[in-house]
C-alpha cells in the first residue's frame, strides 16, 4: 500500500520546480488533507443549516433588523436591564448540553428581542442553528404546507422546527391564539422538550397570562431544568432608536 511519503515523492516529481507546495513531507501532506476534509465537512454542515432555515421560513434564522444585536450593544441604564443582560449572557454561555428554555415577558420595546437575538447571534457564531419567529409567521408557514403547490409537508415543517438547536417564538399573545395555533405551539414545545432542545418565548403577557393562553402543559415544559424567566418591566427604548447605532 502507498504511504503518504510515496504519494508526496510522486507529487514532487510531477510538480514544476517553481511551485512551492503547502507541505514538505508525507506527514504534512496527510495532515493538510485531513484539515481540508474537516473544513469541507464543516462548510457542508453550515450550508445544510442555512438551507434548513430557508426551507422553514424562506430567510435566515435571525431577521435582518436584529442581526447586529449583541450583548455588547445592549445599554444598561437600570438594575433590571443589568440583571436581564447578565442572565442572558449566562444563558448563552451555558447553552451547550442544556435543556433549559427561556421566557422573556413584559412591556413593548424593552429589549426582549434584542437580548434573544444577542443569545441567537452568539450561538450562531458557535455553530448552532437558531430560528427566531413570530407566532403569525409560524402559522402562515404551517398553513402554507396545506396548499397543493407546497413541496414541504406539515410533518416535515414540524420536524424542522423541532430540531433547530434554539427556536424562539416571538409575539405570544399578540392575537387571541386559535385552537390550531395552541395545538401547533403545544406540539413544537412538546417535541423539542422530549428531544432535550430548549425553546425561547417572548411575550407582552405576564407568566399567568401565558399560562392562561397556552395552557399549563406547555408552560410546565418551559420550566424544565434551570430555565430562565425574566420580566422586562421598564420603559420602552424605542423612542431612542435612531436606526444607525448598529
Residues making contact with ligand ATP (CB under 6 A): 69, 74-75, 81, 108-114, 202, 204, 232, 237-238, 241
Of the pair 46, 238, the CB lying nearest ligand ATP is at: 238
Of the pair 55, 63, the CB lying nearest ligand ATP is at: 63
* Shortest CB 107 distance to ligand ATP, Å: 7
- Give dist(CA 49, CA 92) in Å, integer: 19
Of the pair 145, 204, the CB lying nearest ligand ATP is at: 204
Specify the residue for cell string 390550531: 180
* Shortest CB 116 distance to ligand ATP, Å: 8
- Give dist(CA 59, CA 12) in Å, integer: 47
* Shortest CB 232 distance to ligand ATP, Å: 6
* Shortest CB 79 distance to ligand ATP, Å: 13
Strand 102-106's sheet: what is its strand order?
130-134, 166-172, 199-203, 102-106, 228-232
Of the pair 73, 226, the CB lying nearest ligand ATP is at: 73
Largest CA distance in the chain: 76
* Shortest CB 47 distance to ligand ATP, Å: 29
Q: How far apart are the first and last CA of the chain?
A: 57
Q: Give the distance from CA 197 to its chain's centroid.
A: 11
Number of residues in the chain: 246
Amino acid at each position: 500500500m502507498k504511504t503518504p511519503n510515496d504519494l508526496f515523492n510522486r507529487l514532487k516529481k510531477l510538480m514544476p520546480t517553481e511551485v512551492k507546495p503547502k507541505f514538505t513531507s508525507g506527514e504534512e501532506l496527510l495532515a493538510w488533507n485531513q484539515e481540508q476534509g474537516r473544513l469541507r465537512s464543516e462548510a457542508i454542515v453550515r450550508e445544510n443549516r442555512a438551507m434548513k432555515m430557508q426551507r422553514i421560513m424562506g430567510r435566515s434564522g435571525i431577521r435582518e433588523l436584529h442581526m447586529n444585536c449583541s450583548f455588547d450593544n445592549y445599554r444598561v441604564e437600570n438594575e433590571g436591564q443589568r440583571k436581564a443582560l447578565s442572565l442572558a449572557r449566562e444563558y448563552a454561555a451555558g447553552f451547550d448540553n442544556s435543556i433549559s428554555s427561556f421566557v422573556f415577558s413584559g412591556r413593548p420595546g424593552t429589549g426582549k428581542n434584542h437580548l434573544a437575538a444577542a443569545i441567537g447571534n452568539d450561538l450562531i457564531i458557535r455553530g448552532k442553528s437558531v430560528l427566531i419567529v413570530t407566532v403569525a409567521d409560524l402559522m402562515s408557514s404551517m398553513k402554507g404546507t396545506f396548499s397543493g403547490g407546497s413541496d414541504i409537508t406539515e410533518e416535515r415543517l414540524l420536524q424542522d422546527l423541532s430540531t433547530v438547536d434554539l427556536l424562539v417564538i416571538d409575539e405570544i399573545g399578540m392575537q387571541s391564539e386559535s385552537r390550531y395555533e395552541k395545538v401547533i405551539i403545544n406540539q413544537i414545545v412538546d417535541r423539542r422538550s422530549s428531544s432535550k432542545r430548549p425553546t425561547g418565548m417572548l411575550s407582552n403577557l405576564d407568566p399567568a397570562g401565558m399560562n392562561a393562553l397556552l395552557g399549563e402543559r406547555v408552560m410546565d415544559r418551559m420550566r424544565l431544568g434551570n430555565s430562565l424567566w425574566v420580566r422586562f418591566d421598564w420603559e420602552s427604548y424605542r423612542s431612542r432608536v435612531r436606526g444607525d447605532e448598529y
